[in-house]
Structure 1
Amino acid sequence: MTDPSRLLLLGGTTEASRLAETLSARHDLVVVTSLAGRTANPAPLPGQRRIGGFGGADGLAAYLRAERISALVDATHPFAARMRWHAYEACQQTGVARLRLERPRWQAQPGDRWTVVASMAAAADAIVRGRSRRVFVTTGRSELGMLAPASDGRRWWLVRSIDPPERLLLHPSEVILDRGPFSVDGETTLMARQRIDLVVTKNSGGTATAAKLEAARNLGVDVVVVDRPPSPDGPSTSTVADALDWVCASLGLSRSC
């Protein structure tokens, strides 16, 4: 009897969890999901799990060799900018097959009042140039410091993240600790109650946090949307079904999952 193939799944997204749940039922495949460890209490996952970084592309390449990884699916967050390049370089070094699984971007709809920018620093510039006074920030906690130039005392900030910001440079402010999915009614009520006149978000895509965009559209609230960083060349998909097909085809497994 041959040993099962080993798949490294770079996770932290809903798509990664769905892929792990489906593949973990197979007897001809071992799924190892890797999490960066930025969230204090990640949701439970099936299969094997590791938490923490690899030490750059070379460290990841060493891990792929040591653990005899047969294929890698990079299903990290659309704004995990460095990890996707580390995965690309490590797979180039080792010859391990790699797939990028990334959910589709949100697209502006009629009635949306979006300003699309390339970075959090550019978002701060857009805020300074605008006339907002009550800003709802939903970008997560990791790059909040990039908005500090817009914290000039003329604005009040509402910050929502899963875990508390380590150092918040936006004043005056209030922090909400919460995790999606969020409803349109809930987001509308929150934004109306707090008199929000600007939402700042990253274009993460997906349904869990999209309600704020519909609420902003309905309320006529402006939105600064930070666009995604670039990804390396190579096979990619936006659906879990296609990722399943790719895993089975790459590893010569039957499509029984």
Structure 2
Amino acid sequence: MHVLILGGTTEARRLAQALTAGHPGWRVTSSLAGRVARPLLPEGEVRTGGFGGADGLARALRELQVDALIDATHPFAGTISFHAAQAAATAHVPLLALRRPGWVPVQDDDWHHVNSLEEAARRLPTLGRRAFLTAGRLGLSAFAGVDDVFCVVRSVDAPEPPLPPRSQVLLARGPFTLEGERAVLREYRIDVLVTKDSGGEATAPKLVAAREARIPVLVVRRPEVPAGVTVVGSVAEAVEWAGSPGISSLSGD
């Protein structure tokens, strides 16, 4: 049984560990996009870099004799998810999408949902003057024209220009603590938070800190999973899917 996992997320690493430990005879390969300079490596085999679109991924599925494909990429890695759906259909390989549940607002949250980073940039000046941008380094160009808001940009790796004209970069990798997020809001006098609905626990403390400080939050909605793809919300469900008779029997396991 050969399982190919797409993604360098926390869930992808946990899944690789669970499959490797639970099925010693299986071959588990994780594919990382290569966008982070020093990624945390999962157990099992690891490859880095793209496949060359849906056709390239379909070719790789055949050449690597992949029996099951699991898309455990970031909820906002929309392009690779659609390529995975197309490639799996072409190569006749079962596909599962592992997506951590999105965040849900609670009492006292002041959330403002938008559909894109561009829309968030347009709305930003109406909500505050000192923003904490935690939406990743690859989409910062959307804020390049926001010149009336000071932006504190947090990123794992140093972002490339264009950046917001008035900005300061904080290099940090999660998980983040609640006390740490409180300190950032205090030190930089943040009055608005910008985030993608990434879900998960590693970066959720910033939402609690914003709630406590009664700071508005611009939340970018996540893209839809391609139509027809089975979706689960936990590593345990993904492990169960991979080991189900309908999947594992394809490899003669």
On whether the aligned pair clears a TM of 0.5, the verdict is: yes
Whether the aligned pair in 1 keeps the contact of 2:2 and 2:26 (CA below 8 Å) is yes
Q: Which runs of 4+ in 1 moved over 4 A?
A: none
2:219 is aligned to 225
The equivalent position to 1:97 in structure 2, one of 91, 94, 97, is 94
- TM-score normalised according to structure 1 size: 0.93
Instruction: Work out whether 1:87 is the aligned partner of 2:84.
Output: yes
d(CA) in 2 for partners of 1:127, 1:148: 12
Instruction: Work out whether 1:114 is the aligned partner of 2:111.
Output: yes
1:169 is aligned to 163
Structure 1 residue 111 displacement after superposition? 0.4
Matched pairs, number: 246
Structure 1 residue 131 displacement after superposition? 4.2
Instruction: Work out whether 1:11 is the aligned partner of 2:7.
Output: yes
Secondary structure of the 2:176 match is coil
2:233 is aligned to 238
Structure 1 residue 238 displacement after superposition? 0.2
Structure 1 residue 169 displacement after superposition? 2.2
* Superposed counterparts of 1:109-148, under 5 Å: 109-128=106-125, 130-148=126-144
Question: Deviations for 1:94-120, whole angstroms, at most 9, x for unmatched residues?
Answer: 110000000000001110111000000
What is the one-letter code of the residue matched to 1:27? P
Unpaired runs of 5+ in structure 2? none
Whether the aligned pair in 1 keeps the contact of 2:102 and 2:197 (CA below 8 Å) is yes
Shift of the 131–78 alpha-carbon distance from structure 1 to 2, 3 Å rule, reads closer
d(CA) in 2 for partners of 1:82, 1:172: 30
Structure 1 residue 43 displacement after superposition? 0.7
d(CA) in 2 for partners of 1:20, 1:81: 21
* Superposed counterparts of 1:174-213, under 5 Å: 174-213=168-207
d(CA) in 2 for partners of 1:164, 1:246: 38
What is the one-letter code of the residue matched to 1:209? T
d(CA) in 1 for partners of 2:74, 2:104: 18
1:21 is aligned to 17
Query: Which stretch of structure 1 is more off in the superposition, 19-28 or 62-71?
Result: 19-28
Unpaired runs of 5+ in structure 1? none
> Identity percentage over the alignment?
46
d(CA) in 2 for partners of 1:110, 1:66: 51
d(CA) in 1 for partners of 2:249, 2:88: 19
Cα RMSD, aligned residues only: 1.1
Structure 1 residue 252 displacement after superposition? 3.7
